[in-house]
Amino acid sequence: MGSEVVSGWSFFEPVHQLVLYTPGTRDFQSKSKMSREDEVSSDLVGGSNQSGVWDTLKSKYRCVHEPLPAAATPHDDDRRYLSSLRVFEDREVDGPETPLLPSFSNLMADQNISGPHTIKEKITSVLKVLKFRVPRVLAQFWSPTTIRKRLLLTTVDQPFGLDVADEGLLSYRSKSEKSIIDVKVEHRDRLGSLGRVYKQKLPEWSLDVHGQDTSDNIHGYINLPVFESCSDCCVGVLEILTSSHYDDFAFEVQQVSKALKSQNLMSPNAFGDPSFSVSGVPIS
């Protein structure tokens, strides 16, 4: 896995060949935030005590949702055996939100699309109710923003959820916070999965990425474009990764669709549309 610098930006290709761009300077994130992220990585990766890892996470982020213990949940169906997410948000905001490109802002206004802060609140509500059949899941939202007149995707100041303190998932989250994705890259492969999902407005997934770079022990992923119900303008990408084996993501996509609908959001039904291939890459 190599890296290089392109016009002041360095990029690398993690587990499912995303094109992730990291600023060569720190004008995107303040020194305090970058230092905080470095602390999360060093404090969490390699930790063996689940309770201690959660305490460290809570010291760095604001925990906005913590699932009830299994014994406290209803016992009238099998849902008590499903895994839920602890949901986290940043404790601080380093100044005002970065404005979107005028063309994108105008499109949002024309189609009566909610602003980034409202979308963030809705995604937080979605993460709080998601259920997974197999534990070891990270769910995070990539939101559009503008830097130097370039439309980019970022996880900075966006909510994320973890069900267990998995070292690989925590490492991936830390890397994601320091990375941004340029959705204007023309070459399809260079665009990466998240960029393609945002740009083409179609889901992508893989049940097994072990043939690729697995430095974070990621086993599978699904990337879902998110829309407001009243518009076809993509407001971001919900990325779900797991370090456990899944036979399929049909149940999880159903859960996501139901949760999005409750917030007047939506995503294409990847497993109900025959135009998608089983490999997770849409058929061209």
pLDDT band at 277 (very low <50, low <70, confident <90, very high): very low
Predicted local distance difference test score (pLDDT) of residue 187: 73
pLDDT band at 36 (very low <50, low <70, confident <90, very high): very low
Predicted local distance difference test score (pLDDT) of residue 85: 97
- Average pLDDT of the residues of the chain: 75
CB 154 within 8 A of CB 142: yes
Comparing 269 with 165, the larger pLDDT belongs to: 165
Separation CA 251–CA 196 (nearest Å): 23
Predicted local distance difference test score (pLDDT) of residue 47: 43
Residue 105 has pLDDT above 60, yes or no: no
Task: Find the mean pLDDT for residues 130-145.
Answer: 96
Predicted local distance difference test score (pLDDT) of residue 114: 72
Residue 12 has pLDDT above 70, yes or no: no
Separation CA 230–CA 148 (nearest Å): 30
Predicted local distance difference test score (pLDDT) of residue 96: 53
Separation CA 174–CA 110 (nearest Å): 35
Residue 207 has pLDDT above 50, yes or no: yes
Separation CA 110–CA 96 (nearest Å): 23
Comparing 206 with 101, the larger pLDDT belongs to: 206
Give tens-digit pLDDT for 222-239: 999 999 988 889 999 999
Number of Cβ within a 10 Å radius of residue 107: 14
Ordered structural domains, the chain, with CATH: 4-67+99-266 (3.30.450.40)
Task: Find the mean pLDDT for residues 136-149.
Answer: 93
Nearest one of 279, 256, 284 to 269, comparing CA atoms: 256
Residue 283 has pLDDT above 50, yes or no: no
Predicted local distance difference test score (pLDDT) of residue 198: 95
Comparing 277 with 194, the larger pLDDT belongs to: 194
Predicted local distance difference test score (pLDDT) of residue 32: 36
Residue 171 has pLDDT above 80, yes or no: yes
Give tens-digit pLDDT for 243-273: 999 999 999 999 999 999 999 999 987 766 5
Comparing 127 with 46, the larger pLDDT belongs to: 127
Predicted local distance difference test score (pLDDT) of residue 145: 92
pLDDT band at 278 (very low <50, low <70, confident <90, very high): very low
Residues, the chain, total?
284
Of 107-121, 212-226, 259-273, least confident by mean pLDDT is 107-121
Question: pLDDT > 70: what percent of the chain?
Answer: 63
Task: Find the mean pLDDT for residues 8-28.
Answer: 39
Task: Return the C-alpha torsion angle 219, 194, 268, 201, nearest 10.
Answer: -160
Task: Find the mean pLDDT for residues 39-62.
Answer: 70
pLDDT band at 77 (very low <50, low <70, confident <90, very high): low
